[in-house]
Amino acid sequence: MLVSMIYAMSVWRYIIVTISQKERVRREELATRGLKYCPKCGEAQKFAEFIHDRSRPDGLACWCRTCTAKNGHVWYVKKRQDAKWLANRRERDCKIHKREYVSHPRRKRTVAERRLSKRHQREYRRQWSIANHDRVLDYYRKYRETHPERREIERVRARERQQTEESYRQNRILISQRRRARKRATICTLGQDDVKTLEQFPCMFCGATENLTIAHDIPISRGGNTTRGNVFVLCMSCNCRMGTKSLAEIVEQGQLL
């Protein structure tokens, strides 16, 4: 009895291995021609007729598109006829979204309708805030009074935001100066602390405090370096009128602006 069972198992194993080998050979032959066998309809079709599936060894789904669509439609029709399944699904959705269960089905909104609804909501909130400006201010005033720790958090965030903006602006100035020095084959040794120090001074000629720029005692076009001893602060208009002259030449010619 045991011997017969072992013999039967070995025969079945041989049959399965043989069939799998033949199936593998057939699949390889079809793949060389750009075809794949669909076990649902029993036809060999092109790769374009199969959906991409990364979990499969060949990267294509087992069934063709037509068979997949038919099977999904049959399953959907069968489930639609099952009223109990449909009711359970609606009740589950209502529990997930925390709304009251309604027996009648709700039509699913399209993407365009959802976007339009969001725009209407934003516009409604904006109009409401404008119409109830005093009420909004009163709400924020009470909130700040009842949550004093939030004011400190907002101050810290505003300070960090300001520091970030200043650091970004100073880095942009440094990048510009280094690029100019690199093009003229000169040296730039300024750092962010140096730029921060220069921003504390007004224009050296007219005393302006806006539109300040970094000027050079010996211009870069004449071989000057961007170092601490060769830079000072000028406003945009004074720097443009200074041109390629050095500070010593302007003093000698009496053209101090």
If you average pLDDT over residues 31-51, what whole number do you get?
Answer: 81
Q: Establish if 92 belongs to a structural domain.
A: yes
Of 104, 128, 151, the last residue of a domain is 104
Share of the chain above pLDDT 70, in %: 77
pLDDT at position 2 is: 59
Which domain CATH number covers 228?
A: 3.30.40.220
Q: Establish if 11 belongs to a structural domain.
A: no
If you average pLDDT over residues 224-231, what whole number do you get?
Answer: 87
pLDDT-wise least confident of 62-76, 130-144, 154-168, 188-202:
62-76
Q: Can you give the pTM of this predicted structure?
A: 0.41
Q: Establish if 78 belongs to a structural domain.
A: yes
Q: Establish if 6 belongs to a structural domain.
A: no
Q: Establish if 215 belongs to a structural domain.
A: yes
- Residue pair 200/225 in contact (Cβ under 8 Å)? The answer is no
SS3 61: strand
DSSP state for residue 219 in the 8-state scheme: -
pLDDT at position 140 is: 86
Provide the mean pLDDT of the chain. 79
Summarised one tens digit per residue, pLDDT across range 116-155 is 778 888 888 889 899 999 999 998 888 888 888 887 888 8
Q: Establish if 8 belongs to a structural domain.
A: no
The residue segments making up the domain with residue 76 are 36-104
Structure tokens at 131: 């119409």
Of 104, 131, 147, the last residue of a domain is 104
pLDDT at position 56 is: 76
Q: Establish if 113 belongs to a structural domain.
A: no
Summarised one tens digit per residue, pLDDT across range 9-23 is 776 676 666 666 667
Query: Nearest Cα to 65, choosing from 30, 41, 33, 31?
Result: 41
Say if strands 231-235 and 60-64 run parallel, antiparallel, or are unpaired: unpaired
Place of tokens 């599936």: 53
Q: Are residues 167 and 248 in the same domain?
A: yes
pLDDT at position 108 is: 62
Distance CA 170, CA 193 (A): 9
Of 54, 83, 104, the last residue of a domain is 104
pLDDT at position 101 is: 45
Q: Establish if 169 belongs to a structural domain.
A: yes
Q: What total of structural domains would you count in the chain?
A: 2
pLDDT at position 249 is: 83
Distance CA 76, CA 101 (A): 22
